[in-house]
């Protein structure tokens, strides 16, 4: 493995993250985070890595860190629907429904064919009324 190739670390981090889902192995989140942070050290302007770190910290319920990484990803790439969706879900979890719905709607404007985001918006509106 080339120790200077950010994409290799990013890809391996994605593989570790996948193990969390497929094997219910939460310890793999820490391995994924290590690789994502190494990828970021090698490529500090990668919006993709920042967004993925945001999603990984969201999965770990570290909402403050997740928000920092999502925000940085959006500074670098303000047209990324994935990041708006992730940050929107984060706001919903934190009971900040208006902010969350706004981000989810932005995600949907960028990628109008995403049925998952439509479902998230619908659920957020229902939760907001509770």
| Three-class DSSP labels, 24-51 | CCCCHHHHHHHHHHHHHHHCCCCHHHHH
Let me know whether 20 and 82 are in one domain: no
**Is residue 128 situated within a structural domain?**
yes
Q: For position 1, what pLDDT does the model report?
A: 67
Let me know whether 77 and 115 are in one domain: yes
The predicted-structure confidence for 56-89, as pLDDT tens digits, reads as follows 999 999 999 999 999 999 999 999 999 999 999 9
- Own/partner contacts of 112-120, CB < 8 Å, gap of 24 or more, are 114/81, 114/85, 116/85, 117/81, 117/85, 120/85, 120/88, 120/89, 120/92
Alpha carbon distance 48, 113 (integer Å): 21
Let me know whether 73 and 22 are in one domain: no
Is the separation of the CB atoms in 88 and 101 below 8 Å? yes
Let me know whether 68 and 127 are in one domain: yes
Let me know whether 67 and 130 are in one domain: yes
Q: For residue 115, give its domain range.
A: 63-130
Domains in the chain, number: 2
User: What's the average model confidence in pLDDT over 100-123?
Assistant: 96
**Is residue 50 situated within a structural domain?**
no
The predicted-structure confidence for 6-37, as pLDDT tens digits, reads as follows 999 999 999 999 988 788 777 889 999 999 99
**Is residue 120 situated within a structural domain?**
yes
Find the CATH number of the domain harbouring 97.
1.25.40.10
Let me know whether 91 and 37 are in one domain: no
């Amino acid at each position: 493995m080339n120790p200077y190739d950010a994409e290799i670390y990013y890809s391996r981090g994605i593989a570790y993250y996948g193990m969390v889902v497929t094997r219910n192995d939460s310890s793999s989140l820490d391995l994924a985070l290590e690789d994502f942070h190494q990828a970021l050290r090698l490529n500090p302007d990668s919006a993709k890595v920042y967004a993925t770190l945001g999603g990984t910290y969201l999965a770990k319920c570290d909402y403050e860190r997740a928000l920092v990484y999502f925000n940085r990803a959006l500074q670098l790439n303000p047209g990324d629907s994935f990041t708006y969706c992730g940050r929107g879900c984060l706001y919903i979890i934190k009971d900040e429904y208006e902010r969350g719905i706004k981000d989810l709607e932005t995600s949907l404007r960028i990628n109008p064919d995403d049925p998952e985001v439509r479902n998230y918006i619908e659920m957020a509106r229902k939760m907001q009324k509770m």
